[in-house]
Chains A and B, each alone.
Chain A
Amino acid sequence: MSQTPVLELENLSVAYDTPKGPVRAVNHVNMKIYPEEIVGLVGESGSGKSTLAYAIMRLLKGSAFVQEGTIKVLGQDMYKMSPTELRAFRWAKISMVFQSAMSALNPVMTVEQQIIDTLTSHRKGITPPQARARAEELLDLVRIDRKYLKNYPHQLSGGMRQRVVIAIAIALEPAFVIMDEPTTALDVVVQRSILDQIQEIQRHIKFSVLFISHDFSLVAELAQRVAIMYAGRFVEVTPSQRLQEAGHHHPYTEGLLRAIPRLTADEVTIEGIPGNPPDLVTLPSGCAFHPRCPVATEECKIALPPIYDTPNGLIECHRFAGEKVVQHV
Chain B
Amino acid sequence: MSNATLVDVKDMVVRFPIRTGRGRSFITPVDRVSFTIDSGEVLALVGESGSGKTTIGKALLRIEEPSAGTIQVGNRDVTHIKGQALVRYRNDVQMIFQDPFGSLNPVKTIEQHLFFPLKKHQGLRGTELYDRTGELLERVGLTPVPETRIKYPHELSGGQRQRVAIARALAVNPKFLVADEPISMLDVSIRAGVLKLMNELKRDMNLSFLYITHDLASARYFGDRIMVLYGGHVMETAESSDLLRRPMHPYTKLLLAATPGNPVRQPLPETSNQAPDLLEGRKGCVFATRCPLVTDLCRNEKPPLQSLDAGHAVACHYAV
Minimum C-beta distance from A141 to chain B (A): 15
Question: How far does the alpha carbon of A292 sit from the alpha carbon of B244 in the complex, in Å?
Answer: 34
Which residues of the partner chain B approach A218 to less than 8 Å between Cβ atoms? Answer: 260-261
Residue B193, interface by CB 8 Å: yes
Chain A 312-325, CB-CB to B under 8 Å as 1, else 0, gives: 00000000000000
Q: Establish whether residues A191 and B187, one from each chain, have CB atoms under 8 Å apart when the complex forms.
A: no
Query: Are the C-beta atoms of A188 and B258 separated by less than 8 Å?
Result: yes
Q: A189-B254, A260-B217, A276-B159 are in contact. Are A270 and B196 (CB under 8 A)?
A: yes
A256 touches B260 (CB 8 A): no
B192, B194, B195 — most chain A CB neighbours (10 Å): B192
Inter-subunit contact B268/A196 (CB<8 Å): yes
Decide if A45 is an interface residue (CB 8 Å cutoff): yes
A263 and B268 in contact, given A160-B273, A270-B195, A272-B190 (Cβ under 8 angstroms):
no
A94: shortest Cβ distance to chain B, in Å? 27
Q: Does residue A192 face the partner (Cβ distance < 8 Å to B)?
A: yes
Q: How many residues of A contact B (CB 8 A)?
A: 38
Q: Scoring B residues 29 to 60 as 1 if CB is less than 8 Å from chain A, else 0, what string do you get?
A: 00000000000000000001100000000000
With A189-B255, A272-B196 as known contacts, state yes or no: A255 contacts B187, CB within 8 Å.
no
B192:A214 contact, CB within 8 angstroms: no
- Is B291 positioned at the interface, with any CB of A under 8 Å from its CB? no
Centre residue among A44, A270, A292 by max chain B CB count within 10 A: A270
Q: A159-B273, A277-B189 are in contact. Are A263 and B267 (CB under 8 A)?
A: no
Given contacts A215-B260, A217-B260, A270-B192, contact A263 B217 (CB under 8 A): yes
The reply on A273 being an interface residue by CB < 8 A is yes
Which of these, B49, B157, B193, B259, contacts A263 with CB under 8 Å? Answer: B259
A295 at interface, CB cutoff 8 A: no
- B interface residues (Cβ-Cβ under 8 A, vs A): 48-49, 157, 159-160, 187-196, 214, 216-218, 220-221, 244-245, 254-255, 257-263, 265, 267-268, 273, 275
20 A-B residue pairings within 8 Å (CB atoms): A44-B188, A187-B48, A188-B255, A188-B259, A189-B254, A190-B273, A215-B260, A221-B261, A255-B189, A259-B188, A261-B195, A261-B217, A263-B217, A264-B261, A270-B192, A270-B195, A270-B221, A272-B189, A274-B193, A292-B189
Give 17 new A-B contacts, CB below 8 A, not counting A160-B273, A263-B262: A44-B189, A157-B273, A189-B48, A189-B255, A190-B273, A192-B260, A193-B258, A217-B260, A221-B265, A256-B188, A260-B188, A261-B217, A263-B216, A270-B195, A270-B221, A272-B189, A292-B189
